[in-house]
Structure 1
Amino acid sequence: MARCRHHLHLSSLLVSLAVVRASRYATYDYDLTTPQFTPDGRLLQVEYATNACVREGSNPILTVGFGDGDDTLIVMATVSSDASSDVLDGTDVDGRVPKPINQRTQYRIVEVPISAAYTNLIDSTNDLSAITTSTILIGLTGHLSDANALLQTIYSQLEEEQSVFGWHRLSISPAGQDATDSGATFHSTTTETALRLSRAAADQCQKHAFGGGLRPIGASLLLCAVDMQRRHGRIAMCKTDPSGSLDSMVYGIKTDERVVPQVMISGGSSKSQEKLQTLIESKLTEFHLNGDILSRKVLRAVILSLVDEWKSRKQLQLTGVSKISKLYQRIGGTNSMKANLPQMEVVVVSSKVGSFRLSDKDVSAVLEDLVKDK
Structure 2
Amino acid sequence: MNRNDQQAYDRGTSLFSPDGRIYQVEYAREAVKRGAPSLGIRTTEGVVIAAQRRTSSSLMEGESIEKLHKLDDFLGAASAGHVADARRLIDDARTAAQRNRLRYGEPLGVETLTKTLSDEIQETTQYGGTRPFGAALLIAGMDGEGLDARPRLYQTDPSGAPQEWRAVAIGSGRDDIQEFLEDTWSESLTIDEGVEIAVRALLSGDDELDAGNVTIATITADGYRTVSEDEIQSVLDEHQEPTDEDDE
SS of equivalent to 2:19: coil
Distance 1:340 1:157 in 2: 35
Distance 1:282 1:233 in 2: 27
1:349 paired with 2:219, answer yes
Structure 2 residue identity aligned to 1:66: T
1:161 paired with 2:100, answer yes
Structure 2 residue identity aligned to 1:30: Y
Name the stretch that deviates more: 45-54 or 228-237.
228-237
Distance 1:202 1:51 in 2: 18
Residue in structure 2 matching 1:304, options 200, 213, 216? 200
Residue in structure 2 matching 1:295, options 174, 191, 203? 191
Give the corresponding residue for 1:221: 137
Give the corresponding residue for 2:147: 231
1:161, distance to aligned residue in structure 2 (A)? 2.7
SS of equivalent to 1:209: coil
Matches within 5 A, 1:1-374: 25-55=4-34, 58-67=35-44, 72-82=45-55, 85-86=56-57, 100-103=58-61, 105-113=64-72, 134-165=73-104, 168=105, 171=106, 190=107, 193-227=109-143, 229-249=145-165, 262-268=166-172, 272-285=173-186, 293-311=189-207, 343-351=213-221, 353-368=222-237
- Deviation track 1:241-268 (CA, whole Å, cap 9, x = no partner) reads 111111125xxxxxxxxxxxx2122222
Distance 1:204 1:294 in 2: 34
SS of equivalent to 1:63: strand
Gap runs ≥5 in structure 2: 241-248
- Deviation track 1:106-130 (CA, whole Å, cap 9, x = no partner) reads 21110122xxxxxxxxxxxxxxxxx
- Deviation track 1:3-54 (CA, whole Å, cap 9, x = no partner) reads xxxxxxxxxxxxxxxxxxx676444333233431223332111111121112
Distance 2:163 2:199 in 1: 24
* Larger Rg over CA atoms: 1
SS of equivalent to 1:221: strand
Distance 1:75 1:294 in 2: 10
Task: With the length of structure 1 as denominator, give the TM-score of the two structures.
Answer: 0.57
Q: Relative to structure 1, is the Cα distance of residues 203 and 284 closer, same or farther in structure 2, using a 3 angstrom cutoff?
A: closer
1:341, distance to aligned residue in structure 2 (A)? 5.3
- Deviation track 1:283-328 (CA, whole Å, cap 9, x = no partner) reads 335xx6xx7x4433332222122112112xxxxxxxxxxxxxxxxx
- Deviation track 1:331-357 (CA, whole Å, cap 9, x = no partner) reads 5xxxxxxx9556100101222x32211
Distance 2:87 2:211 in 1: 27
Tell me if structure 2 keeps the 8 A contact 1:307–1:341: no
SS of equivalent to 1:210: coil
SS of equivalent to 1:62: strand
Gap runs ≥5 in structure 1: 1-21, 87-99, 114-133, 172-189, 250-261, 312-330, 332-338
Structure 2 residue identity aligned to 1:309: G
Q: State the superposition RMSD in angstroms.
A: 2.7
Q: Relative to structure 1, is the Cα distance of residues 212 and 159 closer, same or farther in structure 2, using a 3 angstrom cutoff?
A: farther
1:103, distance to aligned residue in structure 2 (A)? 4.8
1:366, distance to aligned residue in structure 2 (A)? 3.1
